[in-house]
Structure 1
Amino acid sequence: MPASTPPPEVAVTALFQALWPLFALIVGGYFMRRKGFPGEAFWPAAERLNYFLLFPALLASSLAGAPLDDPGLARQALAVVLGLGIAWLALLLVRRMRGWNAARFGAIAQGVLRFNTYLGLAAVGSLYGKPGLTLAALMLALMVPTVNVMSVWALTAERGISLRALLLPIVKNPLILACVIGALLNVSGIGLPGGSDRLLNLLAVASLPLGLLCVGAALQPQELRAEASALGWNCAVRLLAMPLLAFAIARVLALPALESALLVLFFALPTAPTAYVLTRQLGGESSLMAGIITLQTLLAGASLLLVMGLIQALG
């Protein structure tokens, strides 16, 4: 679908056609794992392969050819920082009012701030093609380290954490390293010579469908039975309030159509499945985190269609 805004009735149809295959893969991953196919050992190995090789290849190849000298990038970066900053301040205020401990606050904060990168880039590729993926990679280069720092701090605020312990997971994150490598290849003028662009593109093509299958495999519906109130309002904030905030910021900063759509899309995504791993590692409420991930992912099919359809209708 082109970056320009089509008529609303065409936009809704195009959105549905672009998004339903993505959620079909998520549902497929869920049932494949529950049926034991191709085997329990496959899913952890697939997640590692995607996280450490295939998905970094997608980010590096996208950034290696991105227009980093575009003057509009500064405004896009400001929009991202404003959106995350406002949400973070609101979370701190609510935490103070409700008296949440770090274990609970860490899960709730990740439910509001983090986003499913696999689903995001798959949706961008389906809706906006290569130009959208290039801009999305630039946004990820800023958003991934920012939300990771916020997430670690939220889970460890009570017991304190050293600067080294806070930044080390960020420095070692393969997605962030891929963004840095791609940007360095770009600004150095080296690019991706000698067919290396083709190699990375082949790896990248495999990353998104495998990632979506893994998202489905990680769903834990059994965790939806408790904490109904917390799950409900957290999903409403992430899937509805956050994209509305992004839309307001895009309007205030007068972002172009494609940049506005991508900002709203990333703020409308369900939270990241990897939030569960981080929550367990740092002693957070892992059952609440699993419930948030599962419910947000299940509701995202309808909420993304609603939010993006409204955004396109409003122009």
Structure 2
Amino acid sequence: MIPLLLALWPLFALIVAGYVLRRQGFPSEAFWPGAERLNYFILFPALLFNSLATAPLDNPALPRLAGAVLLGLALVWVALLVIRRLRAWPAARFGAMAQGGLRFNTYLGLAAVGSLFGQEGLALAALMLALMVPTVNVMSVWALTAERGVSARSLLLPILKNPLILACLAGALVNFAGFGLPGGSDRLLGLLAAASLPLGLLCVGAALQPRELSGEIPALGWNSALRLLAVPLLAYGVARLLALPSMETSILVLFFALPTAPTAYVLTRQLNGDSHLMAGIITLQTLLAAASLPLVLTLLGS
């Protein structure tokens, strides 16, 4: 437990710092939206591209890891559909609940993997993201629009334009082609990547909205328990079923134990979902993850 806490507490300290800085108006309110865009479109794609362009893609466990990711997401999705049927949720509410159960804080996940497993772990995590990001985005859009219908174009076009997906694809292509990263480009990408995760965690903290925690305590509580406790337990079972090696198991459980993504709030507002509930889910899960993440990883022996 102590090594995990030593690896993870600086990440949550950055989240808290981001919250405090924004509430103090530093450096300015206009800084944070620009910082988020810089990270989303430039710095974070550079990290993913760099990780995949240099990753050892001959790992024999990769097919099983990919299967575990997709099977885990499918099982969570089926469970959410069953709960929706039992509770008769409208799409606006189901979309928020589904994103609370499915989506994950990518910045926190990669920062944690980097702290615990180094560059080798980051490469595996980037490969997982190449599968998880498009799958979870399709599920999230469908959940928010199920009642009024959605076209294949509106589901797939945002994914095809997603800079994270494009960076993963480009990095994998460079890797398979054997080009490498010549002429100091690896150093440039490394510098961009190094700035991504600290800035991303500060932005996560800046986006927290504690005032949204009032009013729906039972729904917020069980959704957080589902995401932070039940889902990683399910991922651990899938990893054991597919006989994943130790590092792959740990990274799979870690990503399935992460709090939901702050960007879920933006998507929920765009698609007329319950943005008040979504903001509360994001805030509570992020706060609880400071305790649940090291606890889950320790108890599951990951």
TM range (shorter): over 0.9
1:235-278 Cα offsets, whole Å, 9 max, x none, are 00000000000111111111100000000000000000000000
Q: Size of the alignment, in residue pairs?
A: 302
Query: Which of 285, 288, 310 is 2:299 aligned to?
Result: 310
CA distance in 1, matches of 2:161, 2:68: 26
Q: Deviations over 1:57-112 (max 9, x none)?
A: 00000000112232211100010011000000111111111110110000000000
The letter of the residue matching 1:269 is L
Are 2:178 and 1:189 aligned?
Answer: yes
CA distance in 2, matches of 1:309, 1:129: 19
2:33 is aligned, of 44, 53, 58, to 44
AA of the residue aligned to 1:170:
I
SS at 1:17 equivalent: helix
Counterpart pick for 1:95 among 63, 78, 84? 84
Question: What is the CA–CA distance in structure 1 between the aligned matches of 2:214 and 2:225, rounded to whole Å?
Answer: 18
Matching residue of 1:66:
55
Q: How does 1:152-301 map to 2 (within 5 A)?
A: 152-301=141-290
- The 1-side partners of 2:139 and 2:55 are apart by 27
Matched AA of 1:204? A
Residues 179-215 of structure 1, C-alpha deviation per residue, up to 9 Å, x if partnerless? Answer: 0110111111112111111100000000000000000
Alpha-carbon separation, structure 1, partners of 2:161 and 2:114? 27
Listed one character per residue, the Cα deviations across residues 156-195 of structure 1 (whole Å, up to 9, x for unaligned) are: 1110111011101101111001001101111111121111
**For residues 97 and 67 of structure 1, what CA distance do their matches in structure 2 show?**
45
Tell me the residue number matched to 1:9: none
Percent of aligned pairs with the same residue?
75
Match of 1:117 in 2: 106
Structure 2 counterpart of 1:78: 67
Give secondary structure in 2 for the equivalent of 1:70. Answer: coil
1: distance between equivalents of 2:276 and 2:259? 17
Aligned-partner Cα distance in 1 for 2:55–2:266: 32
How far apart in 2 are the matches of 1:18 and 1:224? 28
The AA in structure 2 aligned to 1:191 is G
Is the counterpart of residue 137 in structure 1 residue 136 in structure 2? no
Which sections of structure 1, spanning at least 5 residues, go unmatched? 1-11
Distance (Å, rounded) in 1 between the aligned partners of 2:75 and 2:182: 42
Question: What amino acid is aligned across from residue 287 of structure 1 in structure 2?
Answer: H
Report how far residue 137 of structure 1 moved. Answer: 0.5
Of residues 2, 9, 24, the one that matches 1:20 is 9
Letter aligned with residue 138 of structure 1: L
1:151 aligned to which of 118, 131, 140 = 140
Normalised to the residue count of structure 1, the TM-score between the two structures is: 0.95
TM-score calculated relative to the size of structure 2: 0.99
CA–CA separation in structure 2 for the residues paired with 1:68 and 1:141? 13
CA positional deviation for 1:311: 2.0
- Runs of 4+ aligned residues of structure 1 deviating over 3 Å after TM superposition are none
